[in-house]
A and B are shown apart, each in its own frame.
Chain A
Amino acid sequence: MTRDQLLELGWILPSIAIPTSMLVALLVTAFGMGIHVPSYTGVIDPRLAAQTPPFDQPGLRQVGPDQYQAVLLAQIWYFQPREIRVPVGAQVEFVATSQDVIHGLRIQGTNVNLMLIPGQVARASARFARPGEYLFVCHEYCGVAHHTMAGKIIVEPR
């Protein structure tokens, strides 16, 4: 082999190895650590979202010891509810949809990051291990007052 061919090979092999090892890391986090991205999680008639359970009663409900479900309904330009209180250590499943345009949901300091698309029910979970206030915001442009659309999760000490 010439020097140039060695150089090429010395570059090509790592160029394959780097993306491949990153892909392995993805598979490990998906199947080993249980971090999932949204998938098929339910459809809904977007015109009737506010009348369809569970979105007819947005808010927090306890579903087991330290297990909660938070139902969020997004619309211009607020979330229902705007404030959620849970005890520290709570495992919360967020179930959310939009009843008008596309909104987003990002909860500070967690893995919850969802698009809220009319007609689609989005789900994600988080465990709140430390007390404090967690901001959640709409992160998709939804009109002139988009920057006012936010809420907070208050994690209370026991």
Chain B
Amino acid sequence: MSMRLERLVGAYLAVAIAAIGIGMFLGLLQALEHAGIDLYPLLQPLIRSYYQGLTLHGVLNVLVWTTFFICGFLLFITSRALDRPLVGLSLAKGAFWLMMLGLLLTVWAMLSNEATVLFTFYPPLRAHPAFYLGLTLIVVGTWLITATLVMTYRAWRREHPTERTPLAAFAALVTFVMWTIASMGIAAEMLFLNLPWSLGLLPDTNPLLARTLFWFTGHPIVYFWLLPAYISWYTLVPRQAGGKLFSDPMARVAFLLFLVLSVPVGLHHQFTDPGIGSSWKMLHALFTFALFFPSLLTFFNVVASLENAGRARGGRGWLGWILRLPWDDPVLVPQLLAMVLFVFGGIGGLVNASLEVNLAVHNTAWIVGHFHLTVGAAVTLTFMGISYWLVPLLAGRRLWNARLALVQAWLWFIGMALFSHALHRLGLLDMPRRTAIGSAPYVLPEWQTWLPLVAIGGTILFVSGMLYLLNLALTVTVAPCEAPADVQFAQAVAPADQAPAILDRWRPWLVLAAVLIVLAYGPTLAHLLATTALDTPPRRVW
């Protein structure tokens, strides 16, 4: 029974890691292109344009790598945290194959240049139906994972009617329930607009409505990526660092706030859209700021836990404990570096959310710099750290080379710091994002200072990424067979039984989430349905 779970988790991770491997290669081409080194002619006819490559880079890294990794990781962590087999493992296996079918359809559409629409696929750009169908199947697959986790939780609850849900399982469930609610936007966009439209059943589309439904899902999806990293930081990292979690109840508060507040914030991606009321944009800015609160709680709780660990290892003074953390641990170090970069990603996020200040950065290179610090560093570097214990555990082998893993993590940190710094600066100098700058006729002299740094940072990131793939590939093939210790969760200084019972209930929080969503989106969606129409013909512009 348990072996089947491990095979499934391994399959999810293998797909995720293969996807990011290809995605990183295309990322390298983009970074070099910005510095005037155009390698796309070498890839003809496989990759026909910068934008086809950019579509693959976005979809593979930000949708496939994250989603597949998260499904595998959280199925595993839930089963271990509840200390029981999953209920509905066959359902989860079915979900995997459904998602694989979806992935193949999507990748086929992108590789055949039938879907060069970037990962946001804003209509009236119209891709091949296989692209939309594929992405839809991947989303439906994640719903089946939610069902598996809910059934498993219910079975555990029947067996343990009075206990607090173990934190890792609770947080995994929050992650998937939040995502399932959030994905209703993209599901509606696909089912009512994009699929019938791409199949020719609808002649025209409604770009602003489609875009609004996209961002209904498009912001909370970043919390779908981030919360699994938080699960690692809260429930595993304190122990990996040699200490205890500072406060288990405070962690639950943070996750519940994410459940409630993740969705009613999507309009902050549309601050510059005409046709959406500025007061509703202001409300979404307010909720986005409110979301900063659970992230600050997380920052405090995780750093306090690390301090607990550093002091347990003999660290003294205000900052001396930092030096005593196990800086030679390939599982911990990537996650510590992820946290450092995430501080800057979080600050940049507040800038983006600040209604009027957003005018200075919207759709500039600043945004690209920002999300490479969040999903590209906080999330990705944490997932890399997780792979350094999870892949050996699944393979029953030792990590091939721990020192190489440390080098890899530091390279990613340095490369990302350079790359994202350059892009932030370029954004403030008004350089647009999602643009083949190397071929643009309008490059400003002040951009020239920073463009080479994009290429240097991108190259370091690529080297780091290849070392990651190499280490894992050799781990599962040639590393010595030596079953590592199974996952061990951190204990808490303030344990779960100090948490009020309301923190282990679902209905009040789900009702609150629904109320906020209706309040934040209801009037805007009603206004769009009343004032806009299916009146924009499809275009193929690639």
Contact = CB atoms under 8 A, between A and B. Distances in A.
Interface stretch (B162-170, B273-281, B448-456, B476-484): B273-281
Contacts of A135: 430, 442, 444
Contacts of A111: 356, 359-360
Interface stretch (A14-22, A52-60, A64-72, A85-93): A14-22
B208 A120 contact: yes
B471 interface: no
A108 B297 contact: no
B207 A144 contact: no
A37 B296 CA distance: 28
Contacts of A29: 355-357
A39 B535 contact: no
Interface residues of B, number: 71
B193 to A, nearest CB: 14
A30 interface: yes
Contacts, number: 204
B432 A37 contact: no
A17 B234 CA distance: 24
Contacts of A25: 354
A85 to B, nearest CB: 18
Given A114-B274, A119-B532, A147 B297 contact: no
Given A139-B433, A144-B49, A148-B440, A39 B541 contact: no
Contact of B434 (A36, A108, A141): A141
B410 interface: no
Contacts of A104: 272, 363, 432
A101 B208 contact: no
Interface in B409-467: 430, 432-437, 439-442, 444
Contacts of B270: 115
Contacts of B542: 143-144
B244 interface: no
B492 to A, nearest CB: 12
Contacts of A76: 539, 541
Contacts of B356: 26, 29-30, 35-37, 111
Nearest to A104: B363
Interface string B284-299: 0110011011001100
A102 B212 CA distance: 13
Contacts of A114: 272, 274
A101 B434 contact: no
B97 interface: no
B362 A113 contact: yes
Contacts of A35: 356, 359
A106 B354 contact: no
Interface of B: 49-51, 54, 116, 118, 122, 124-125, 206-208, 211, 246-247, 250, 270-278, 281-282, 285-286, 289-290, 292-293, 296-297, 300, 304, 350, 354-360, 362-364, 430, 432-437, 439-442, 444, 493-494, 531-533, 535-537, 539, 541-542
Given A42-B274, A113-B362, 15 more contacts: A4-B494, A7-B304, A29-B355, A36-B356, A37-B278, A37-B281, A37-B355, A38-B275, A39-B274, A45-B535, A102-B207, A108-B444, A113-B360, A115-B272, A143-B51
27 contacts: A15-B293, A19-B289, A22-B289, A22-B354, A38-B272, A38-B273, A38-B276, A39-B276, A39-B278, A39-B281, A76-B541, A101-B122, A101-B539, A111-B359, A113-B272, A117-B211, A119-B535, A120-B273, A137-B430, A139-B434, A141-B434, A143-B539, A146-B51, A146-B436, A147-B437, A147-B439, A148-B440
Interface of A: 4, 7-8, 11-12, 15-16, 18-20, 22-23, 25-26, 29-30, 35-43, 45-47, 76, 100-102, 104, 106, 108-109, 111-115, 117-123, 135, 137-144, 146-148, 150
**Nearest 5 CB-CB pairings of A with B:** A143-B541, A139-B432, A19-B289, A15-B296, A39-B278
